[in-house]
Amino acid sequence: MTKHQPIRLAVFASGNGSNFEAVAQSIQKGEVDGELALLVCDQPGAFVLTRAEKLGVPAVTFTPKTFESKADYEREVLAHLEEAKVDLIVLAGYMRIVGKTLLKAYPERIINIHPSLLPSYPGRQGIVDAFMDKVEQTGVTVHLVDEGVDTGPVLAQETVAIEPDDTIDSLERKIHAVEHELFPKVIQKVIKKLQKEHV
């Protein structure tokens, strides 16, 4: 029986890249049975690029506003994904809505992590919105990506309590700690499912 081909991942990120690094480390430790083929970044100065360089992960950077349309931008990204033979896209703090070009090329193979218990607090201010609303708990959601904003089918959720003495910073740290644990586990489940489909 032949061993299955490793699932090749591309991580899309826009900022600091702590989730990118958590995923990369999980792969290095053998907790995630995949290969990190590519980092796609839409912010040329983002710190995630420094992390990728240290970890030896190939990276491509784009300035989306230099493209005439979202479709043009995504076609260019897609060319790099195809060249790197990417099987699965992982969004880790990627601050753009994924468009039809990528969704069509990777149906049910784009997953996102979001810092709230969706459907509550979608969008880029999930942590701040929950904190300002003084809710008792928020959390982390990993979901499949569709055409909406944080609306795709939920794969996993974990709650995070908002304590009376929490600040936005302390809440953010707690949420990131949960993200770094949860995301690799869910990615591994998705990889297992893809591997079965490839058999």
Catalytic residue list:
114
- Cα of first residue to Cα of last residue in the chain, in angstroms, is 10
Task: Name the residue among 126, 131, 122, 120 with its Cα closest to residue 170.
Answer: 131
Query: CA 149, CA 143: separation in Å to the nearest integer?
Result: 11
44's tokens: 């040329």
Integer Cα distance of 153 and 172 in angstroms: 24
Residue type, 117: L
Residue written as tokens 């979001």?
Answer: 114
The number of residues in the chain equals 199
Return d(Cα 192, Cα 34) in angstroms, integer: 10
Tokens of 185: 């586990």
Q: How many CB atoms lie within 10 A of CB 167?
A: 9
